[in-house]
């Protein structure tokens, strides 16, 4: 039986083969059924159809099985079932799916890139709303698949020692798609804008080209961009705010980061636990830097997601410097990978502030008449005790006391270092007062010496 002869098993079930897929593709185009076309244009759908045909022919085709499918793809295009330029789009998509099945990820991306280029060219030429609106979902699906293909291709290239260039190429291609959807007077074309922006965000974050994200944010804020809240699906708006929030974290704009990440977190669907966890990875360090510690209720609800931050939050509340250092050291690789390590490092100053506040409260009890004066020597001893905590935290009961004493003696917090830390707190308005270097005393304001961090920041 030739490759194009009728196969009753496959055609009767209407569930496999290049021919069946091509006919469905053509039908969706003729009927302008956008959602159906988007599904058929996905690489997953194409691969599943080919997978079924491969399983069906397994006992016949042997090692030539994939080659037969490739010939069938090209034959379907030659038959003229699909209108131009969708015949070329479909062919490149199917060939991309074949290369995916062969684990030839670079070729998979290259074919898909050709398919997307052809689709973008056609999309650009459409002006009438009724000609555009049914192609929007396909544009969104293909830009997403293009990025995923490029990521797989680059990962494979690095694995075999080759230069990884596909993701960068994909970024350039998606910028062309964005221009087609934005530089137009046809409103319907602009419905694809935010999805493409989000895909570009993901590419730029992966390539560590964060400076390019600023241009996208500026574009979204232009008056020519569609009204944000009214025009786009919730999922796209959540993704956009998540990445803008992450970018604000890297810029040390914690108020902006808090605003965007809260938007993303609060509007994630209840069942999207992974997405909520992703938001918390950045929202927790941001809120800590703004002076807010996650509530017990939040820790209970997202126990697994917040587990890495328990010790950090405890140290900020209690002033246990050692606990903070231990937590940062233990989670360093993770925090560096997520881009939050430097944000957590800044909490050392807040931790010192908490310790300073507790020390001043003890001073008030010991000498009420000098309650607003704290000796640097007293604070130095407090710092040594707090820093030593990390050395005894996981020690056995039999060695706790010995280790703790040794830790205090070995922890270096001399008067100059403590004075420097206190001066930084005063400079940042986290503490009101001044340091008397001559007397080695910190003189605190009698009114609100430790203002709320949230008010200061």
HEC-encoded secondary structure of 316-351 = HHHCCHHHHHHHHHHCHHHHHHHCCHHHHHCHHHHH
Q: Is the pLDDT of residue 403 over 70?
A: no
pLDDT tens by residue, 127-153: 999 999 999 999 999 999 999 999 999
- pLDDT-based confidence at residue 271 (cuts at 50, 70, 90): confident
CA distance 198 to 144: 9
CA distance 336 to 443: 38
What pLDDT is attached to residue 18?
A: 80
Q: Is the pLDDT of residue 67 over 50?
A: no
Confidence (pTM): 0.84
Q: Is the pLDDT of residue 428 over 70?
A: yes
- 152 or 454, which is more confident: 152
Q: Is 77 helix (H, G, I), strand (E, B) or coil?
A: helix
**Helices (H), ranges, 62-192:** 65-78, 86-101, 105-125, 129-132, 136-159, 166-182
What pLDDT is attached to residue 241?
A: 97
The mean of the pLDDT values for the chain is 86
CB 91 within 8 A of CB 112: no
**Helices (H), ranges, 251-375:** 254-267, 273-289, 296-301, 303-306, 310-318, 321-330, 332-338, 341-345, 347-366
């Amino acid at each position: 039986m030739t490759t194009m002869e009728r196969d009753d098993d496959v055609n009767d079930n209407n569930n496999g083969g290049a021919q069946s897929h091509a006919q469905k593709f053509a039908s969706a185009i003729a009927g302008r059924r956008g959602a159906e076309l988007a599904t058929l244009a996905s690489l997953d759908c194409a691969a599943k159809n080919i997978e079924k045909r491969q399983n069906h022919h397994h006992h016949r085709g042997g090692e030539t099985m994939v080659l037969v499918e490739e010939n069938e793809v090209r034959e379907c295009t030659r038959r003229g079932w699909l209108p131009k330029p969708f015949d070329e789009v479909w062919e490149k998509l199917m060939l991309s799916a074949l290369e995916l099945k062969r684990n030839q990820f670079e070729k998979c991306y290259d074919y898909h890139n050709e398919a997307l280029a052809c689709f973008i060219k056609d999309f650009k030429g459409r002006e009438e709303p009724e000609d555009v609106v049914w192609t929007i979902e396909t544009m969104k699906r293909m830009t997403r698949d293009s990025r995923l293909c490029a990521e797989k291709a680059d990962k494979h290239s690095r694995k075999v020692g080759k230069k990884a260039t596909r993701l960068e190429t994909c970024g350039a291609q998606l910028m062309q798609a964005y221009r087609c959807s934005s530089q137009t007077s046809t409103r319907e074309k602009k419905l694809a804008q935010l999805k493409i922006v989000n895909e570009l965000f993901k590419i730029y974050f992966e390539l560590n080209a964060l400076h390019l994200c600023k241009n996208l944010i500026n574009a979204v804020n232009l008056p020519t961009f569609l009204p944000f809240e009214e025009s786009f699906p919730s999922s796209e708006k959540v993704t956009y705010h998540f990445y803008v929030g992450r970018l604000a974290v890297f810029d040390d704009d914690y108020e902006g980061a808090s605003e965007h990440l809260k938007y993303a977190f609060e509007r994630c669907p209840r069942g999207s636990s992974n997405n909520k966890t992703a938001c918390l990875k950045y929202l927790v360090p941001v809120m800590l830097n703004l002076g807010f510690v996650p509530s017990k209720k939040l820790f209970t609800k997202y126990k697994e997601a917040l587990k890495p931050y328990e010790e950090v939050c405890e140290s900020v509340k209690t002033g246990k410097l050692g606990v903070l250092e231990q937590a940062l050291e233990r989670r360093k690789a993770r925090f560096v990978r997520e881009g939050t390590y430097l944000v957590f490092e800044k909490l050392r100053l807040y931790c010192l502030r908490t310790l300073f506040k507790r020390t001043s409260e003890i001073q008030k009890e010991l000498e009420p008449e000098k309650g607003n004066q704290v000796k640097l020597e007293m604070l130095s001893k407090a710092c040594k005790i707090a820093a030593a905590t990390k050395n005894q935290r996981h020690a056995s009961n039999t060695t706790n006391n010995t280790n703790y004493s040794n830790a205090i003696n070995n922890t270096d917090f001399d008067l100059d270092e403590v004075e420097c830390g206190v001066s930084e707190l005063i400079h940042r308005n986290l503490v009101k007062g001044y340091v008397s270097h001559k007397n080695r005393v910190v003189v605190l304001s009698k009114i609100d010496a430790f203002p709320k961090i949230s008010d200061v920041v």
